[in-house]
Each structure stands twice: as structure tokens, then as C-alpha cells.
Amino acid sequence: MTAVVDSMPRAGFVRGRGAVIGFGAPLVLLLIVAILAPLLPLPDPNLQDLGASLLAPGSPGHALGTDQLGRDILSRLVYGARLSLLIGAIGMLLGAIIGTVLGLLAGYYRGIVDIIVSWLIDAQLAIPFVLLAIALITSNGRSLIVLLLVLALFSWAQYARVIRGETLALRSRPFVLALRAGGVPGYRILLRHLLPNQAGTVLVLATLQMGAVMLAESALSFLGLGVVSPDISWGAMLSEGKDQLVYAWWIAALPGLAILITVLLVNLLGDALRSVLDPRKRRY
């Protein structure tokens, strides 16, 4: 479940600043609601009420229904947003940092560093992340750290590949050659000149990877490898809904819809950012 970021132009929807705001605003709203969850008039998401179990959406007192343990779905969705977004963001950040650093190093210093990093990228792509997660869990047990590690491992290679390519191209540009000739140390050139130059690329990649990481987390939680009770994430809700599919479809349908809409918005935001930040790739 990787969103492969290719740099080829594609037809798309709305472009430009308007689109960035248009897709970014609902996400910011979601974020605010998630952060403010405890302050909202919602029932305790883990409060069980077996007398009110499996209520359909629209039932009195439970706008989106309840699950098999009588817990309110709407409340669980709102609280679930917190972990889904948080883990998605941290996983994405970890991947971004590792990937960008390795990409810069590989592209700038080339030689053995490049060979090793490229080799690592190839190896990472070869390992299906779900299987890797399973292997990690069986020997290390399930924990938040393991989850974040898997997610970081899952996404770093995308950054590394792209950043490496761009750094390779940039390093032979006149301004970089001048800096090197002037005796400026490598790390400085990377930090002060090359990295800022690619900030736009990193931002676009990060946004698009956020969606991919969220999808990955939901898959892992669904399989019981990620977030588990009493913690709530949309992916974990999906695993609870799986067995109730026939008679209580809303338990699975709603969290999945939440994931779909959020990732959709994130991807659209990423596309819009790409069109704004990189004039070469603008099509309209």
C-alpha cells in the first residue's frame, strides 16, 4: 500500500493556491476536532453498554450507532482520529527525516555512501511491509515503538530516492561548485544550500506519504499489529467491525470511510502543493 510518488505530470483536478486551501481547510478542521475531542460533548469512547449494543446509525443518543459492546461509534471515530492522524504524522516525519538525510548524503557524497544507500533502498522495496511488521511483532511484541519503526521503514525509501536524484543533479550546478571551491565544508553546503532548495519537494513528498502511512497504519492495526484496545484508531475499529459485517455494517463501513476521505484530501492537497511549488509540473 504505497503511494508511489512519480515526478511525471498528470492530469488532475483543481490546481493552484485555491486548491491548497480547499483541500487543506477540511484537514485542519479535522485536526482541530481531533485535538479538542475531550472538550466536545461526546460519550466516553470506551464506555461499554451491552444493553445498547449494535444500534444502527440514527438511533436516539447515538448518531452513528454503536458497536457490539455498546460503545458509541461517533465518539470512537472522533477519538480514533487522534491516533490515526498522530501515528500517521509521526511515521511520516520519521520516514521523511531518515529518507531525506540518506538521500542528501547519497546524492552529495556519492561513492560508497551512495552504493550502500541505493542498496538499502532496493532491499527496503523488496520487503513487503506487512510481512516485516509480522516478523517484528513475533519477536519484539507489539508496541507503539515497533509500529512507528515499521512505518518509518515503510516510507523512507521514497524520499531517499527522489532527494538523492535531485541532489545528484544539483551538486554539479555552478553555485555548488563555487561553494566547494571556496572551501565550504560539505555538511554546510547540504544544510544551508541544498536542503532549502529541495524543501518544496520534501513537503510535497511528505504530504503524499502521509496518506500512504495512514493507509499502512490502518492495515497493520486491522491485522492486530498496530493499535489495539483500549487505544482507538480507525484501522483498529475496522478489525472490530470485520466480524459484524453482515448485521452491523456501520461498524466497519464508517471508520473505513473516514480513512478514505482523509487520505483522499491529503493526496489532493499533495497534488495541489506540487502544482504550486513546482512550476515545471504545472499543466494548466
Partner 1 sequence: MIKTIVIRLLLGIATLFLAVTVAFIVAHGSGNPAAELLGASATPERVAQLQHELGLDRPLYVQYFDFIGGLLRGDLGTSLRYNQPNLELIMQRIPATFELTAVALAIAVVVGIPLGTLAAVKESTWIDRVTSAVALFGQSVPVFWLGMMLILIFAVQLGWLPAGQRNGPLSVVLPAVALSTLPMAQIARLTRSSMAETLGEQFIVAGRARGLSRASIILRHGLRNSSIPVLTIFGLQIGALLSGAVTVEYVFAWPGLGTLATQAIEGRDFTLAQAVVVVGVFVFVIVNLIIDVLYAVIDPRIRRTRA
Instruction: Give how many residues touch partner 1 by CB under 8 A.
Output: 56
Nearer to partner 1, 189 or 254 (CB): 254
Contact 87, 148 (CB under 8 A): yes
For residue 232, give the 3-state DSSP assignment: coil
Using the contact rule CB under 8 A, the part of the chain among 38-46, 87-95, 195-203, 243-251 near partner 1 is 243-251
Shortest Cβ 222–partner 1 spacing (Å) = 6
d(CA 19, CA 67): 37
Asked if residue 71 lies in contact with residue 47, where contact means CB atoms within 8 angstroms, the answer is: yes
- Nearest approach in angstroms of CB 171 to partner 1 is 19
Task: Give SS3 for 208.
Answer: helix
Report CA 117 to chain centroid distance, whole Å. Answer: 22
By CB under 8 A, residue 211 contacts partner 1: yes
Nearest to partner 1 of 103, 194 (CB atom):
103
Please give the residues from 222 up to 241 whose contact with partner 1 meets the rule CB under 8 A.
222-225, 235, 238, 241
Q: Under the criterion CB under 8 A, does residue 128 sit at the interface with partner 1?
A: yes
Check binding of 218 to partner 1 (CB under 8 A): yes
- Rule CB under 8 A: is residue 125 a binding residue for partner 1? yes
Q: Return the residue of 23, 108, 129, 159 that touches partner 1, per CB under 8 A.
A: 129
Which span sits near partner 1 by CB under 8 A: 27-35, 102-110, 172-180, 213-221?
Answer: 213-221
The least distance separating partner 1 from the CB of residue 113, rounded to whole angstroms, comes to: 16
CB atoms within 10 A of CB 10: 9
* End-to-end Cα distance, the chain: 30
Task: Tell me the closest approach of the beta carbon of residue 18 to partner 1, in angstroms.
Answer: 18
DSSP secondary structure letter of residue 66: B
Any contact of residue 256 with partner 1 (CB under 8 A)?
Answer: yes
* Secondary structure of 21-45 in HEC code, one letter for each residue: HHHHHHHHHHHHHHHCHHHCCCCCC
Residue with cell 544539483: 170
Q: Of the ranges 42-50, 59-67, 123-131, 190-198, which one interacts with partner 1 (CB under 8 A)?
A: 123-131
List C-alpha distances in Å: 126 to 154, 174, 261.
11, 37, 29
Chain positions contacting partner 1, by CB under 8 A: 1-4, 6, 8-13, 119-120, 122-123, 125-132, 134-141, 211, 215, 218-219, 222-225, 235, 238, 241-242, 245-246, 249, 252-253, 256, 259-260, 263-264, 266-268
